[in-house]
Structure formats: C-alpha cells, structure tokens
Amino acid sequence: MARTCLAVVLAAGDATRMKSSKSKVLHTVGNLPLIAHVTRAAATAGVNKVALVVGRDADLVTEAASAGLDVPVSPVLQTERKGTGHAVLMARDIITEGFDDVVVLYGDAPLINPESLVAATAERAKGADVVVLGFRAADPTGYGRLLERDGELVAIREHKEASIEELAVDFCNGGIITFSGSKAVGLLEAIGNDNAKGEFYLTDIVEIARSHGLKCIAIEAPEEDMMGCNTRAELAEIEQVWQTRARHGAMLSGVSMIDPSSVFLSHDTVLESDVKIEPNVWFGPGVKVGSGAVIHAFSHLEGADVGANATIGPFARLRPGTELAEKVKVGNFCEIKKAKVGAGAKVNHLSYVGDAVVGAGANIGAGTITCNYDGQNKHLTEIGAGAFIGSNSSLVAPVKIGDGAYVGSGSVVTMDVPDDALAIARVRQETKPGRARRLREKIAAIKALKKKM
C-alpha cells in the first residue's frame, strides 16, 4: 500500500530582518513566491496534504501556497511565536487525521529538492521513526550539529551549546525533519521550553524520540538545498542558486546561452531545443520560446509566446499577450503588446505594435506605431497578410489594413485601407528655392542681436 504523508510548512514569520511591508515568504525567487516553491516541492515529492502554519498576511500566503497545486492546503493560524515545536503543534488537528509520515518544511527555504524528501520518507518506510536532513558545511559556524553514534542520530546540538568535540563535527542540521505520523503528536507534546528563550524547539524531538526507544537517523543533502532566507542579501543568494540551476537545466535540454550568468529565467519559462539566447536577456512569467528561435541581447520578455525560428531584438520588449508565429522577426528597440503576429511577418526597429493582429508575411516599417489608446479605451489594429507599412507611419485604431495593402511612409492612417490598395496620408511636400539660405540668415541675425543685449 502507498504511504500517506502530511507536509507541515512553517510560514508564520514576521520578516523583521527583511524590513518588508509583506510576509517574508511572499518575496519571490524566479518570479514565484518562496512559499510556492516549498509547497510545489512537497507536492512533487508526493505528499497528500499540506498543513500551512500562517501568521502575517495569512490569506495572501495561503493563496500563494495553493496556486497551481493539486493537493489540498489547509491553513492554521499561529498567533503566538513560541518556537518551531510550538508552530508544528498548531497543526495538531490535521496531524491527527492519520498519516504515515509527517514532514516539517520551512516556507523561507525554497531550494529544497523533492528527491531529498522522497529519500527521507523511504528511510521511514525502512523503519526509522525520525529522519533529519543534514548537510556537510565548509564552515559549520552557527549551525546546529547532528551527532551520530553507531549509524543513528543521537542528538541535534545547537552551536552555542556544543562542546569543543561537538563543534568539530561538520554534519549540520538542515531543519527539515520527517517523523512517524502515529507518534507525531505525542513527541511534539513532550517538547519542553526549559531554555534561555523559553521556546519549544523542534530539534529536541530527536532526544525525546530516543528516550522512547525510537530510531532516529540523519541523511545528507546538498547544503544549498537547505538555504533559508532572513535578509534581502540572503534572498539574492538564493535567487542566484535557483537561476544557476534553471539555466543549467535549460542548457542540458538543448538551449544555447552565450553568457548564462546574465540570463534571468522565471519559474515557468519554457525554452524548446535549439533556442539561442544572447547575453542580458530577462524572461518574466509566462514565456514560451519555440525551437530554433534566437533571442538577441538586452531583450525583455513577459507573458509572450514566441514561435519556432523567430528572431527577437536586440533591445526588444515583448509584453503580456504577445503571440508570435514561426519565423517572425522583431527588430531592435521594438515593443509588442497583446498582439498576434503571423508567420514570417517583420516588425522592424523602433516600432510599437499593441492590441493588434498582424497577418502572415506583413512588413511593419521602422518607427511604425499602432495608436491603440484614446485616453479611455484600447482599440484593435488589423494588418492583413502581406501588407506593407512604410516607415514612420501611425495607424490610429480602430483601423484595418487589408491583405497586400501598402501604406506610404510617414502616413497617419485613420480610415480602413482595402486589400491591395495604396494609402498615403501626409501633407504634400512643398519645395521653395533659396528659402533655406534666407532662413539661416534670419536665424543668425536673431542670434547676433541676443548677444548685444
């Protein structure tokens, strides 16, 4: 029979050291809240339910933790802060629903790998009553030490309470503990607060379990998996680790990055094989890039679907609602927003296309803008297949340019243009011989007069 598992996620911290107006766990890594990284890792590892211990911004934290999750999330409110043991016990009613395993996770530690959680429950299935995740630290200063004897974990010793011999141990406590669901409440209730802070420490559960003849072990995971976030500086460090992992995974899947460290990815970025990304490219949420596409340097993409073999930038911005078909070209310093661009169409440099539909093979000349906003509402511009829009044209929406139509450069188009028609909407040029010389003389005279005054 499959084992059942409850994840108790501690997310009630006040973010005092973050100096933030919102809960710490709502800050993001890879454009996803910290708490969502944790609950998604738990779901991937196969937990059946999440008990979410919340405090500040409880509703927002619960919403972020639940978004996109296919397992139930039950929030429980912690109104007093009395230590980690007390926080876990807030979920008593959910724990007593009956689970084979209970795993305690932290809402500010988003790098936890689902495989590590699976490994812990596997050790539980083999007979261990308590399983602690630990790591080997290059510098263990400040960390609690995992003390072992004869292959079993005998205690978790806080750094300030450790002896000289114990301080020499480099196996450190990662904070994540999995224990027997049937014994969980009894063990938690046995935790005391006879310490300097008068708090109930979850780490005491190891010695309590051993005093009841239960088996405790520690298993090792990478140190970065356990990284927690208390300050903005630590948040930046976690972001860096997450980005490195995401980039590495993308490159292993067939994506080329000239300078990986300068590329920023989001948690849901989809990059198909043979995509090439130049330096300094930013992917916001909701971006998908098709096979063979090239994203040139200094481009910014968010909420955009880029077709196969398209080319973007450099210095292009794709905003939410952009849908580019295959072989579309978006030139440098272009902005596309809420627009569908057909196969093989070109949006050349310094153009803005917003709230628009552009047909296959159309050419949007340099400096073209769709005037989509009237101060109150947005309006649609339709550009037909094979249409040619001359440079420096303004298309005042709502307006429709037909298939194969041609708009002369510098035009301000306010009326529909039929298929295969030529539209020129500009003042006729006048040329006045000698007037340029006389104009320069007049300007020079005015300048000379100003100097005398």
Catalytic residues: 349
436: β partners: none
Shortest CA distance to 156 belongs to which of 148, 168, 145, 171? 145
Host H or E run for residue 442: helix 435-452
122-126-127-129 Cα dihedral, nearest 10 degrees = -10
Per the structure block, which two tokens stand in for 34?
């910290």
SS3 content of the chain, % helix, strand, coil (to 5): 25, 30, 45
Query: How many other CB atoms are there within 10 angstroms of residue 316's CB atom?
Result: 25
Are residues 401 and 383 in contact, defined by beta-carbon separation less than 8 angstroms? yes
Phi, psi angles (nearest 5°) of residue 216: -125, 135
Letter string b/e over residues 351-390, b meaning 16 or more CB atoms within 10 A of that residue's CB: bbbbbbbbbbbbbbbbbbbbbbeeeeeebbbbbbbbbbbb
- Eight-state DSSP code of residue 90: T
Distance CA 240, CA 205 (A): 33
Are residues 270 and 252 in contact, defined by beta-carbon separation less than 8 angstroms? no
- Residue recorded with tokens 């992992």: 245
Query: How many other CB atoms are there within 10 angstroms of residue 317's CB atom?
Result: 21
Specify the length of the chain in residues: 453
